[in-house]
Structure 1
C-alpha cells in the first residue's frame, strides 16, 4: 500500500434510534456506514449481516434477503473463499503467496501467475503511466526502508546511501507480462496493498450478483461497494470521516448505489522525527513520503478496484496535481486539505453527481 483507506457531529445528520452506526476501519481510511435497523420489514425482507477478519483488518457484508435468496452462512462461505484466494495470491505478509514468491526471485526471472495477479499488474501499470511514475506498485523496498512495509525494521529516516540503493529496485518499467507469466529485469518487489482490497470488493460484489443478491453493501478493509436499497427502500448512506488522529467524526454523508467508494489518507500511519511528520504515502519518483497539505481523498467509481487505486494516486499527487488529474479524467473526488484553521474540503462535479447531490 502506498497510502495505507469536519467538525459536525454525527447526530446532526441522523437520530440514533433510526440507524445503526458502525465505523468500518481499513488499511487506508475509515468509513461510517449508516445502516437501517436490522429487522424484518412488512414485505418479509430482512437485512442480513456477517463479517470477520481479513487482510490484517476486517470485512463486512450486508444484504437484503428476499424470498429464495441464500442464507448468510451460504453467502459467507463464498465470500471467505474469495478472500482466502486473494490472500494466497496477493499478500506480502505470507512467504508462500504468489506475489511474495515472485518478490523473492532475483532479476531476469519470470513466474507463472493467476489471472487476478496479472490483472492488478496491468491496472498498476495504467495508474503509473497516468501519474508519470508517482504511483508505482514496486515501492515495497521504500516502504520497508522507511519502516512501513512487511519487512520493516523500525520507522526511521533512511540515509541518502540506503535510499539510493532502494530506489534501484523501484520502477514499474522493470515489470512485464509474457502470456501467463510475470517477469522482471531488476529485483523489484510488487505490493498490491493500494488496490487489492478494491479488487476483493468488486469480486465479492460480482459473486453476490451471481447469487441473485442485488441489494447489498460489501466492504473489505474499508473499501466498499453498495448496490440497490435497504429493506425499507432507503439508500445506503456512507459517512466520510474527518482526518483526525484523536477521534472519528463524520465529515459528510453520501448516498451510494452501484458504485465503489475508497478513501486514502495520511493521518493514521505515520511517524514524527526532527519536528517533521512522515506518512506511509509514497511518491515513487522521490522515494520519500509525500509532503503536501492534502490529508485525505475519497473517490467514487463504478469499480471499487479503480476507486481504491485512484484515491491513492490522487493522494500522492497532492491538492493541485491531484485535482487536475481528477478533472482531466472525470474522476469523482472529494478532497480534505489541511489549513491553518483546521481542514477545508473540495469536491468536483463528478463526485457530486455520483454521490447523489448537485453542485451549486
Structure 2
C-alpha cells in the first residue's frame, strides 16, 4: 500500500506468540496488496484495469464484496463516492499513473469522465465485468478492509485487546495492560505541523479521517485538493478541511470519511445526520477552524468515554 502499519496488543494466556501474529498480519497485508493495489502492475485489480471494454475477470470474494460496497455508497450518495475515479486522479496528477500535477482542460475532463462511474461495472457470478475502459481504485476502502481482516484474525488467535493501524486507518478493542482505554488523537488539519485537535476513546470501533490538508497543489494562486468530486470530475472546492468517522467496521469508516469529504460541510452534515453516521467535521473559517459533530458522533464519543 506504499505506507506503514502498526499493531499493539495485550498478551494473555492462549494468545499466539509474537512471530506467529506478525506473520499472519503480514500475510493478510500481502494478500490485500496483491489483490487491490493500484501501485503494482501484477495486482489483480491492475490486470482488470488494463483489460479492454467488454472484459470479465474472475475475482476473489473480498474484491467483489468491496465492489458491491462501493456501488452501494455511490447510489446512496448520488455519486459522491465512486471506485472508478482513478483516470481522473491520474489526469489531475494525483494518481499512480500521473505525469505531474496539472489543471486539465474541460475537454480532457469530459473525455475521461466517459469511462468513470460504477454503472460501467457489473458482477457476473465470480467475475467482475466492465462495459467501458473503466479502472477500479480501492484506495478509499482497502486500508479499512485490511484493518478489519487483521482485527478479526487477531481475535481468532485469542487476542481480546488490540489497537490495529494500517496507513492511518485504525480499530481498537478492549483495554491496555494497565486497564485504561485505547485513546487516539484526531489531528488538526494543518500542513505545517502535527497538532492534536481532539482525543477519542475507542473500544470496538474503527476510525478514519479524510482531509485535503497535505496532498494538494497550487496553480495561479488557487489550491487544488487531491480529493476529487466524481460528480464534476474536479477537486472539491468547499471549505471542509477534514472529516472523521467512527464505525464498528473500519472498512465503512474509511469509505464514509471519503464520501463525506466530497459532500462538504453542508451537504455532508445533512447526509450524515440522515444516515445516523458518527462524523466529526472540521471546516476552514478565516485563519482558523470550526468543528461540528453529528448527534451520533457526540453520543458515541460520550458513551465510549464513560465505559468502564
TM range (shorter): over 0.9
For residues 136-190 of structure 1, the C-alpha deviation after alignment (integer angstroms, 9 at most, x for no partner) is 0000010000000010000000012211111111011000000000000011000
Question: So what's the TM-score if we normalise by structure 2?
Answer: 0.97
1:57 counterpart SS class: coil
Q: 1:195 aligns with which of 120, 135, 141?
A: 141
Corresponding residue of 2:100 = 154
Corresponding residue of 2:167 = 221
Separation (CA, whole Å) in 2 of partners of 1:114 and 1:142 = 26
1:307 matched to 2:256? The reply is: no
Structure 2 alignment gaps of length 5 or more: none
For residues 6-52 of structure 1, the C-alpha deviation after alignment (integer angstroms, 9 at most, x for no partner) is xxxxxxxxxxxxxxxxxxxxxxxxxxxxxxxxxxxxxxxxxxxxxxx
Separation (CA, whole Å) in 2 of partners of 1:145 and 1:205 = 36
1:294 matched to 2:277? The reply is: no
Separation (CA, whole Å) in 2 of partners of 1:151 and 1:306 = 27
Separation (CA, whole Å) in 2 of partners of 1:66 and 1:348 = 37
Structure number with the higher helix fraction is 2
8 Å CA contact 1:300–1:355 kept in 2: the answer is no
1:92 counterpart SS class: coil
Structure 1 alignment gaps of length 5 or more: 1-54
Question: So what's the TM-score if we normalise by structure 1?
Answer: 0.83
1:233 matched to 2:179? The reply is: yes
Corresponding residue of 1:124 = 70
Corresponding residue of 1:344 = 290
8 Å CA contact 2:203–2:304 kept in 1: the answer is no
Q: 1:254 aligns with which of 200, 214, 231?
A: 200
1:211 matched to 2:163? The reply is: no
1:335 matched to 2:284? The reply is: no
For residues 233-262 of structure 1, the C-alpha deviation after alignment (integer angstroms, 9 at most, x for no partner) is 110001100000100000010100000000
* Aligned pairs (5 A) from 1:1-360: 55-356=1-302
8 Å CA contact 1:254–1:356 kept in 2: the answer is no
